[in-house]
Amino acid sequence: MPSYVALLRAVNVGKRQVTMTALRECLTASGLEEVETYIQTGNVRFRSTMRSAAKVEQHVERTLAAGCGFDVPAIIFTPSELRQVYDDAVAATPARGNPGGENRYVVFFKEGDQPSGAGADAIAAWDREGEAGLVIGRAVHVWLDGPMHRAKFFGAFAKPLFPGTNRNLTVVTALARRWGS
């Protein structure tokens, strides 16, 4: 039975609150198995008899909308896909500049939602001192020399980054170690 990792977008923000216990119970009641979460930011691993990531994504989103009372976008990865994003994050270097990357983030996307073409080129060409980004597959890798709330990168790319959900590299590392194949 395949395993999947769901990265949920915009849970526990403002009025969109759900405990990870309630989340696990809701997903387990829907037929998913071995449901586990990691920290309160909407990281979930489970097993399912469904073999299509698209069907799993639809199932998780429908289940959570009914159980939480609001839409919860779910970005689904297999364990090996999650591990690849982590490996890319460790190996990647920004196309421009060389920020020390004191703060590293990865923005995850559903299949086909990641920036491409001119959008990906603009991210790679970002030329603000201490900030850089790079699109690799279904993720945007971000390097910041300072705190996220002071960075201009996320504001400059708000539209292309919008459908994604971000995690700092510490969380991505923990997820890859726990759930990546």
The ranges assigned to domains in the chain are 3-77, 81-179
As a whole number, mean pLDDT of residues 144-170 equals 94
Distance CA 131, CA 143 (A): 6
CATH class of 3-77: alpha beta
Residue 96 pLDDT level (bands cut at 50, 70, 90): low
What confidence score (pLDDT) does residue 173 get? 97
Q: What is the pLDDT of residues 6-51, one digit of tens each?
A: 999 988 766 788 889 999 999 999 999 999 999 988 999 999 999 9
